[in-house]
Copies of this chain bind each other. A is one copy, B any other.
Amino acid sequence: MEQRSVRVGKEKIMETAEVLFTERGYKAVSIRDIADACQVTNAALYYHFDSKEELFEQVLDAHTRKLAERMQAAADRGDTTKNKVTAILIEYGQITADHRSPMFLMSHAGYKSQDDKTRAAAARLVKMMMAPLEDVLACAIAGGELRSLRRSYSPAAMLVGMLTGFYRHQRQCFDQGFTPELVEQVVDVFWQGMAL
């Protein structure tokens, strides 16, 4: 019973910390703030995490895993490969539009991207986020539905880049928001462009 209550405690701390970090950013949130929000002492937090940094890293990991699961679930609902990909990207766009991506949490945190350790962590989280899309596209390429790119270029990277870059530009220059139609337009051009 003791064991179980400790596990529940950790989950609750991480959920609370996730909300606070997302709202205010890493730097602005102290261990005390999180402890207060959970109605526990600082010591209760230090029982589970060595430092605020360690807590934040675990929050980032759990956060990213949840998002990847949401995208995987979206993919599973699609019938054709193209529809699976569209569903993943609509989910992805919604996540980033809601400022829920691990990248947002990290940059919001005021983490320096120049730092090697942070850079490696960011790369790992982005790969985790992209895994469901990588898988669907790899299957489409293996099955002869799409061609592969030169060298070892990642088609998922191209597609996500296409979506995020296009969206950013449309928003910046034409004040347009994120819509499923924008995703469909991107997937449409990508699909024809990657056809054998």
Contact = CB atoms under 8 A, between A and B. Distances in A.
Interface in A100-151: 119, 122-123, 126-127, 130, 149-151
Contact of A154 (B122, B158, B174, B181): B174
Interface residues of A, number: 40
B194 A189 contact: yes
A161 B168 contact: yes
A71 to B, nearest CB: 16
Given A153-B170, A154-B170, A193-B192, A162 B160 contact: no
Contacts of A123: 172-173
B173 A186 contact: no
Contacts of A6: none
Nearest to A195: B192
Interface of A: 119, 122-123, 126-127, 130, 149-154, 157-158, 160-170, 172-174, 181-182, 185-186, 188-195
